[in-house]
């Protein structure tokens, strides 16, 4: 059973880089046909897709964040990471990593496995 766990600093100063890691247990990020995604949720607000990594090595970013976001993976450690540059208070949110649902080997645009989420606050 695949499980995801986010980790990283809970407090980041404005203008600095937010760095988070998602560790995958019970499975591999380099095999199978899955998207591995980062999603965030500001307090009391809705969800926003930040971007995703595919096991083929391709990445897709939300156009609204593209200039500041990098998603990468370390398959040997079964981890994928998020870096968000030049953060402001607007980046304060709970950050989730999630895996896409795959049905009969075909990726669906839905997320069936989520990490528990990690709260990141941007403040000096």
Partner 1 sequence: QSALTQPASVSGSPGQSITISCTGTNSDIYTYNSVSWYQQHPAKAPKLMIYDVSNRPSGVSTRFSGSRSGNTASLTISGLQAEDEADYYCSSYTSTSTLSLFGNGTKVTVL
Q: Please report, as ranges, the residues that interact with partner 1 according to CB under 8 A.
A: 45-49, 51-52, 60, 62-64, 96, 101, 108-112, 114-117
- Assess contact for 15 and 86: CB atoms under 8 A: yes
Q: How far is the CB of 70 from partner 1 (least distance, A)?
A: 16
**Toward partner 1, which CB reaches closer, 2 or 101?**
101
For partner 1, the closer of residues 29 and 113 by Cβ is 113
80 versus 111: smaller Cβ distance to partner 1? 111
Torsion of CA 9, 54, 39, 15, to 10 degrees: 50
Q: What is the DSSP string of 42-76?
A: -TTS--EEEEEEETTS-EEE-TTTTTTEEEEEETT
Q: Which is nearer to partner 1, 13 or 83 (CB)?
A: 83
CB of 22 to partner 1, least distance (A): 12
Rounded to the nearest whole angstrom, what is the least distance from the CB of residue 109 to partner 1 in the complex?
Answer: 4
Give the nearest distance from C-beta 49 to partner 1 in angstroms.
Answer: 4
Q: 96 to each of 39, 52, 103, 106, 113, how far by Cα in Å?
A: 5, 12, 22, 23, 10
CA distance linking residue 98 with residue 113, whole number of Å:
6
């Amino acid at each position: 059973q695949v499980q995801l766990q986010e980790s990283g600093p809970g407090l980041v100063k404005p203008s600095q880089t937010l760095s988070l890691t998602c560790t995958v247990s019970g499975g591999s990020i380099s095999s199978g046909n899955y998207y591995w995604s980062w999603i965030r949720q500001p307090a009391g607000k809705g969800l926003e897709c930040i971007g995703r990594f595919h096991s083929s090595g391709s990445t897709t970013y939300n156009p609204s964040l593209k200039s500041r976001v990098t998603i990468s993976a370390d398959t040997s450690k079964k981890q994928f990471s998020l870096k968000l540059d030049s953060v402001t208070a607007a980046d304060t949110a709970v950050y989730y990593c999630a895996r896409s649902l795959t049905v009969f080997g075909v990726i669906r645009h839905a997320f069936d496995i989520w990490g528990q989420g990690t709260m990141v606050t941007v403040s000096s």
